[in-house]
């Protein structure tokens, strides 16, 4: 039997990713495509890649929601939405370590949204990313940041 709470969290997370995807594509007027190993043929194009792989600090294969290729910039983006208290904030240090030291992109962004994160966890993440290649935004901050691209 599927855990109804877990199913709801997955649905909310997917809806949040859709909102971010639509915002990026709308603001920057670009397409999104699901990443495939043959995606190299689109190199240099302004695109939003979805479900892009990387190797984690543990040496295991992982995926993040997006890699934005825009005007010769490559920015890896991860979306974290937590509506009610749970364990997702305990995963933030792992994500931060991957996004500051393991992914190949020179720029990374973690978008945090929802009231379920412990405030101390979000504060820790923001402080830990200072002076790294990783930025931490809420949705409003991210949308504002995107408008600086155009």
Find out whether 125 and 136 touch, Cβ atoms under 8 Å. yes
pLDDT band at 148 (very low <50, low <70, confident <90, very high): very high
pLDDT band for position 6 (cuts 50, 70, 90)? low
Quick one: CA torsion of 93, 123, 90, 1, rounded to 10 degrees? -130
pLDDT at 23: 97
Could you give all domains of the chain from N- to C-terminal order, each with its CATH number? 4-147 (3.40.1350)
Task: Calculate helix-pair angle for 139-147, 4-28, nearest 10 degrees.
Answer: 20
Q: How confident is the model at residue 38 (pLDDT cuts 50, 70, 90)?
A: confident
pLDDT the model gives residue 42: 64
Residue 5 has pLDDT above 90, yes or no: no
What is the average pLDDT across 21-33? 97
| Angle at 26 (CA atoms; ends 37, 106), nearest 5 degrees | 50
> Which of 13-30 are b and which e, b meaning 16 or more Cβ less than 10 Å from the residue's Cβ?
beebbebbbeebeeebeb
Residue 31's pLDDT band, with cuts at 50, 70 and 90, is very high
Residue 86 in contact with residue 118, Cβ under 8 Å? no
- Give the C-alpha separation, 22 to 87, whole Å: 27
To 5 degrees, how large is the angle CA 107–CA 57–CA 17? 50
């Amino acid at each position: 039997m599927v855990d109804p709470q877990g199913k709801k969290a997955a649905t909310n997370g997917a809806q949040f990713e859709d909102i971010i995807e639509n915002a990026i594509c709308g603001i920057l007027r670009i397409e999104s495509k699901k990443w495939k190993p043959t995606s190299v043929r689109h190199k240099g194009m302004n695109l939003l890649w979805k479900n892009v792989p990387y190797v984690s600090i543990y040496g295991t294969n992982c995926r993040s929601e997006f890699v934005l290729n825009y005007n010769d910039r490559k920015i890896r983006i991860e979306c974290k939405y937590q509506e009610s208290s749970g364990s997702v904030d305990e995963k933030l240090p792992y994500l931060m370590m991957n996004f500051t030291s393991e992914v190949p992109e020179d720029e990374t962004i973690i978008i945090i949204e929802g009231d379920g994160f412990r405030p101390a966890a979000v504060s820790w993440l923001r402080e830990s990313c200072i002076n790294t290649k990783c930025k931490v935004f809420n949705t409003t901050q991210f949308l504002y940041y995107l408008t600086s691209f155009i």
